[in-house]
Amino acid sequence: MTMMIQKFGAFTSARVRSWELGLVFRDGELEDVLGPGRHIGRYGRELGLVSLAEAWFSHPRLDVLVKSPLLAEHLMVVDLADHERALVWLDGRFEGILGPGLHALWKGVREARIERVDARYGAQVAGARSPSSILAACLGGERRRTH
């Protein structure tokens, strides 16, 4: 996902399109989230436009941004431990398998279903070489649905 950055000057306006959100940063800290429309910026701010057309949200500081109450209503956060994997379906279609780490999807953009899998119950997951073999290994172990 690419985030377009625009620096606000005095009374600079920016347009957030219907498929975007605007993330307003001041000194590197998230200050506001803007919905669609034309917005007047304040000096010293940066506006990052993110496309909601892409299901996944990524950012170099994802670990900090997902904790912001400003983004809580907009993001579904999946935080997987080393022994966990997640099977992901978007709009009823299998999307893929998430590995350990922090992942975030935009809420309301696409219908998402996430199933966490404890890889300790499927030791063959660790040795799997392809997504289909990982999926087969995961489906053979215990599963628990989280979302």
Least Cα distance to 71 among 31, 130, 100, 27 occurs for 31
Least Cα distance to 84 among 42, 146, 15, 16 occurs for 146
Residues 6 or more apart from 116 whose CB is under 8 A from it?
A: 80, 84, 85, 86, 143, 144, 145, 146
Confidence of residue 134 (pLDDT cuts 50, 70, 90): low
* pLDDT number for residue 2: 54
Q: Looking at residues 124-135, what average pLDDT do you find?
A: 60
pLDDT digits (tens, 9 = 90+) for 90-104: 999 999 999 999 999
Residues 6 or more apart from 123 whose CB is under 8 A from it?
A: none
- 136: enclosing H helix or E strand: helix 131-140
Q: Indicate if the pLDDT at residue 20 is higher than 70.
A: yes
Q: Looking at residues 68-84, what average pLDDT do you find?
A: 95
Confidence of residue 42 (pLDDT cuts 50, 70, 90): confident
The tokens of 1 are what?
Answer: 């996902």
Phi then psi dihedrals of residue 16, to 5 deg: -105, 120
Q: Quick one: 132 exposed, middle or buried, by C-beta within 10 A (0-12, 13-18, 19+)? A: exposed
Q: Indicate if the pLDDT at residue 22 is higher than 50.
A: yes
* pLDDT number for residue 101: 96
Q: Which residue has the higher pLDDT, 43 or 64?
A: 64
5: β partners:
48
Q: Which residue has the higher pLDDT, 139 or 21?
A: 21
Are 63 and 87 contacting, i.e. CB atoms less than 8 angstroms apart?
Answer: no
Q: What is the mean pLDDT of the chain?
A: 84
Q: Indicate if the pLDDT at residue 126 is higher than 90.
A: no
